[in-house]
């Protein structure tokens, strides 16, 4: 099986978990990560020790300015502007855009200027096709260069919200989300810098 060479932009919780999942499933070869806010030594620490998912069961180290996971060297970029990230030089085919910043076709398209062939946005998008497994994934068109995997809330709620009415019907519903704190959320109620 030929592995897809992939890159991750943004090494917060989503980017970290995508990278862990890639190493666990064996179908993706993560060859580059970009995050301008995290130095290499802290990237090693974050990957090895996750507060929610526990310790990574493998080897993780920094060597020759690369992140090395289970013996696989990963190029580290620390560039804020996606069109300046040299994805093409790293041989990247697909990018997981997990910064929550570049979520439109135009903004995510900057990764294509850097040499990526495809971009998958890990957040909702205002103008990019969105796909959710179990709901509309069969409509995915391989010619798409940019698409979105919607949001974490969409991915847990929409499959159920489709399954139940399709098979039983819904007269009324109420959804409650229990969500981990993100980098832009306060731990207690208060004004947000996002508004």
**pLDDT above 80 (res 185):** no
Distance CA(83)–CA(101), nearest Å, equals 14
The count of residues in the chain is 195
- Distance (Å) of CA 113 to CA 24, 73, 87, 117, 146: 30, 24, 9, 9, 13
**pTM of the predicted protein model:** 0.86
pLDDT of residue 165: 86
Comparing 3-12, 117-126, 159-168, the range with the smallest average pLDDT is 159-168
Mean pLDDT of the chain: 90
Neighbours of 114 (CB within 10 A): 23
In which band, very low, low, confident or very high, does the pLDDT at 79 lie, cut at 50, 70 and 90? very high
Which of the following is catalytic: 17, 68, 152, 161? 152
Examine the residue annotation and report whether 152 is marked as an active-site residue of this protein: yes
In which band, very low, low, confident or very high, does the pLDDT at 162 lie, cut at 50, 70 and 90? confident
pLDDT tens, position by position, 118-160: 999 999 999 999 999 989 999 999 999 999 999 888 888 888 8
pLDDT of residue 176: 80
């Amino acid at each position: 099986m030929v592995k897809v060479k992939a890159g991750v932009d943004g090494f917060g919780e989503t980017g970290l978990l995508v990278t862990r999942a890639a190493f666990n499933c064996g179908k993706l070869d993560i060859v580059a990560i970009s995050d301008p806010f995290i130095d290499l030594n802290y990237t090693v620490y974050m990957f090895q020790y996750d507060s929610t998912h526990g310790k990574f069961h493998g080897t993780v180290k920094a060597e020759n300015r690369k992140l090395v996971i289970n013996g696989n060297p990963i190029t580290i970029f620390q560039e804020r502007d996606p069109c300046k990230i040299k994805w093409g030089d790293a041989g990247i085919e697909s990018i997981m855009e997990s910064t929550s910043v570049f979520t439109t076709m135009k903004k995510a398209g900057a990764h294509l200027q850097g040499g990526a062939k495809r971009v998958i946005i890990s957040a909702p998008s205002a103008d990019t096709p969105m796909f959710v497994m179990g709901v509309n994934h069969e409509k995915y068109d391989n010619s798409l260069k940019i698409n979105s995997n919607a949001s974490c809330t969409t991915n847990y709620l929409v499959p159920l919200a489709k399954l139940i009415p399709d098979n039983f019907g819904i007269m009324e519903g109420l959804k409650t989300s229990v969500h981990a704190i993100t980098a832009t959320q306060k731990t207690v109620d208060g004004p947000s810098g996002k508004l």
